């Protein structure tokens, strides 16, 4: 192989973090602003950079890595399936899809699974499902269906999904926007009741807003949403791409209030931290409205994805990760509160979906990414003042103690 630039002549394996970053930045548009570290290996909750420095991964792939890096059981399932059959497309049946779907219907208490790859595709699937349901079941006049969403939502980056974002940058240059969405405040059930019209197909929301700042709604919100949707014949669509699979201490965050939505959007951790696996899950009377040709995905539901998704759900149960998420989450929040950091105005979260909010005079959350990196903690801001701590659900108390010691150095300078 001919190396044409000065940095590459060194060979990737001999580069330090800064040299590799310069090399990479010439080769990709800046649609992300990564922290200045090059990760080359991960195991459990830990990762290592090119220079051999070790970090605790408290971003965990935006909650995709709920089982940690390279979970041995999920890896084993992936290897075994990869050797047998990886991709066939749903033009044919494959012998792992039904096992995956059955496990997921068992975990959700619903009838059917429509498999996709990314979280945004799961959301798009639910949007299409809600619209077709509105026209064919509810009787909304064609092209008049409305979907209600929340302020500060995050449901992905596709053109339709950014059309109803309230983050200006996500949508500003990407119009014309898809119509048919109405925005209300999050955590306000009364606002939902008032926004519904005869043309409302669905209410799409996150049970705890992740990217919008780890916003936990008031107790009773999910139950109220459920009854308002029932009274008005409106579908309740819970986007649990981030909150699902034990992240908040229950398998699905809706279970905190014993509520079952009409559709779940799932993704992230469903892929075991090693593969994109997402799905729309619902009962037959809703999800069953799709007919051949309505919707699809070349890679959605491929055998490798299904084997990994199945193993992920098994690990979630076998290792009691919901319980660990609850316990370690409480322990973490208590530990951070006990620091009485002069920089913070709030510590919040549910299970291991946690965040701290910086006082305005302390600077933005983004300013703290590098200081945390320097003490061996990987994390990322959500909105301006809010920094998340969302480690793998497999984290131990000892590892949390390690993290708290490092976090204190930054929060209590
Ligand atoms: C991350 C996320 C998505 C989008 O998932 P991608 O896999 O990045 O497309 C959708 N909804 C929520 C709540 C998310 O956190």
Over the stretch 24-58, which tens digit does the pLDDT of each residue have? 999 999 888 889 999 999 999 999 999 999 999 99
CA angle 271, 273, 277 (to 5 degrees): 15
> Is residue 244 lining ligand 1, measured as CB closer than 6 Å?
no
Task: Give the residue whose CA is nearest to atom 11 of ligand 1.
Answer: 155
What confidence score (pLDDT) does residue 12 get?
62
What confidence score (pLDDT) does residue 13 get?
64
Atom index in ligand 1 nearest the CA of residue 120 equals 9
pLDDT of 6 above 80? no
Average pLDDT, the chain: 96
Q: What is the dihedral of CA 106, 98, 279, 56, to 10 degrees?
A: 80
pLDDT of 305 above 60? yes
Over the stretch 210-232, which tens digit does the pLDDT of each residue have? 999 999 999 999 999 999 999 99
Q: What pTM does this model have?
A: 0.96
Question: Which domains are seen in the chain, by residue range?
Answer: 12-63+321-411 (3.90.1150.10), 72-318 (3.40.640.10)
Three-class DSSP category at 1? coil
In angstroms, rounded to a whole number, what is the distance separating the alpha carbons of residues 23 and 302? 34
> Is residue 103 lining ligand 1, measured as CB closer than 6 Å?
no
Atom index in ligand 1 nearest the CA of residue 267 equals 7
Per-residue tokens: 317: 């149960």
Per-residue tokens: 287: 């999800």
Q: Any alpha helices (H) in 340-396, and if so which ranges?
A: 369-374
Q: Please pick, among 100, 154, 205, 299, the residue that the annotation labels catalytic.
A: 154
> Is residue 207 lining ligand 1, measured as CB closer than 6 Å?
no
Per-residue tokens: 228: 């308002």
Nearest Cα to Cα of residue 201 among 136, 131, 137: 131
In angstroms, rounded to a whole number, what is the distance separating the alpha carbons of residues 337 and 196? 40
Q: How confident is the model at residue 19 (pLDDT cuts 50, 70, 90)?
A: very high
pLDDT > 90: percent of the chain: 94
> What distance in angstroms lies between residue 100's CA and the mean position of ligand 1's atoms?
21
Q: Which residue has the higher pLDDT, 283 or 10?
A: 283
In angstroms, rounded to a whole number, what is the distance separating the alpha carbons of residues 145 and 155? 19
Nearest Cα to Cα of residue 154 among 383, 323, 397: 383
How many other C-beta atoms are found inside a 10 Å radius of the C-beta of residue 185? 12
Atom index in ligand 1 nearest the CA of residue 209 equals 13
> 116 φ, ψ to 5°?
-135, -160
Q: Please pick, among 103, 132, 268, 380, the residue that the annotation labels catalytic.
A: 268
268 catalytic residue (yes or no): yes
No. of helices (H) and no. of strands (E), the chain: 14, 14
Over the stretch 84-131, which tens digit does the pLDDT of each residue have? 999 999 999 999 999 999 999 999 999 999 999 999 999 999 999 999
Q: Does residue 272 come out as left (phi exceeding 0), alpha (psi in the -120 to 50 range) or beta?
A: left
> Is residue 119 lining ligand 1, measured as CB closer than 6 Å?
yes
Over the stretch 251-301, which tens digit does the pLDDT of each residue have? 999 999 999 999 999 999 999 999 999 999 999 999 999 999 999 999 999
44 and 68 Cβ atoms separated by less than 8 Å? yes
88 and 94 Cβ atoms separated by less than 8 Å? yes
How many other C-beta atoms are found inside a 10 Å radius of the C-beta of residue 81? 20
pLDDT of 7 above 50? no
> What distance in angstroms lies between residue 97's CA and the mean position of ligand 1's atoms?
22
> What distance in angstroms lies between residue 156's CA and the mean position of ligand 1's atoms?
5
> What distance in angstroms lies between residue 181's CA and the mean position of ligand 1's atoms?
18
- Beta-carbon contacts of residue 389 (< 8 Å; ≥ 6 apart): 58, 332, 336, 349, 354, 355, 356, 379, 403, 407
154 catalytic residue (yes or no): yes
239 catalytic residue (yes or no): yes
């Amino acid at each position: 192989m001919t190396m044409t630039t000065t940095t590459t002549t060194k060979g990737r394996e001999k580069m330090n973090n800064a040299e590799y970053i310069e090399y990479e930045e010439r080769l990709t548009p800046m649609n992300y602003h990564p922290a200045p570290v090059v990760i080359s290996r991960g195991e459990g909750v830990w990762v290592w950079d090119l220079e051999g420095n070790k970090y605790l991964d408290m971003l965990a792939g935006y909650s995709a890595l709920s089982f940690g890096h390279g979970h041995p059981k999920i890896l084993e399932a992936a290897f075994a399936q990869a050797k047998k059959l990886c991709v066939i497309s749903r033009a044919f049946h494959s012998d792992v899809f039904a096992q995956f779907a059955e496990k997921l219907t068992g975990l959700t208490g619903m009838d059917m699974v429509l498999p996709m790859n990314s979280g945004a595709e799961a959301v798009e699937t639910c949007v299409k499902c809600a619209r077709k349901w509105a026209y064919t079941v509810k009787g909304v006049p064609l092209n008049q269906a409305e979907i209600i969403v929340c302020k500060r939502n995050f449901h992905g980056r596709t053109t339709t999904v950014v059309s109803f974002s309230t983050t200006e940058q996500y949508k500003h240059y990407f119009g014309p926007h898809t119509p048919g969405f109405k925005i209300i405040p999050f955590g306000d059930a009364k606002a939902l009741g008032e926004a519904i019209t005869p043309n409302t197909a669905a209410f799409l929301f996150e049970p705890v807003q992740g990217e919008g700042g780890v916003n936990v709604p008031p107790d009773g919100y999910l139950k109220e949403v459920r009854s308002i949707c029932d009274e008005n014949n409106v579908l309740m669509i819970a986007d649990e791409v981030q909150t699902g699979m034990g992240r908040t201490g229950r398998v699905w965050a809706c279970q905190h209030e014993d509520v079952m939505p009409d559709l779940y959007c799932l993704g992230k951790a469903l892929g075991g931290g090693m593969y994109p696996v997402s799905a729309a899950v619902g009962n037959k009377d809703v999800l069953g409205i799709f007919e051949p040709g309505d919707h699809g995905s070349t890679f959605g539901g491929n055998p490798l994805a299904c084997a990994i998704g199945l193993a992920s759900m098994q690990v979630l149960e076998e290792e009691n990760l919901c319980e660990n998420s609850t316990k370690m989450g409480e322990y973490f929040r208590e530990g951070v509160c006990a620091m009485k950091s002069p920089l913070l105005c709030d510590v919040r979260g549910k299970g291991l979906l946690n965040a701290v909010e910086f006082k305005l005079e302390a600077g933005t959350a983004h300013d703290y990414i590098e200081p945390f990196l320097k003490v061996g903690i990987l994390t990322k801001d959500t909105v301006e003042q809010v920094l998340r701590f969302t480690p793998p659900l497999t984290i131990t108390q000892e590892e949390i103690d390690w993290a708290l010691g490092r976090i204190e150095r930054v929060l209590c300078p």
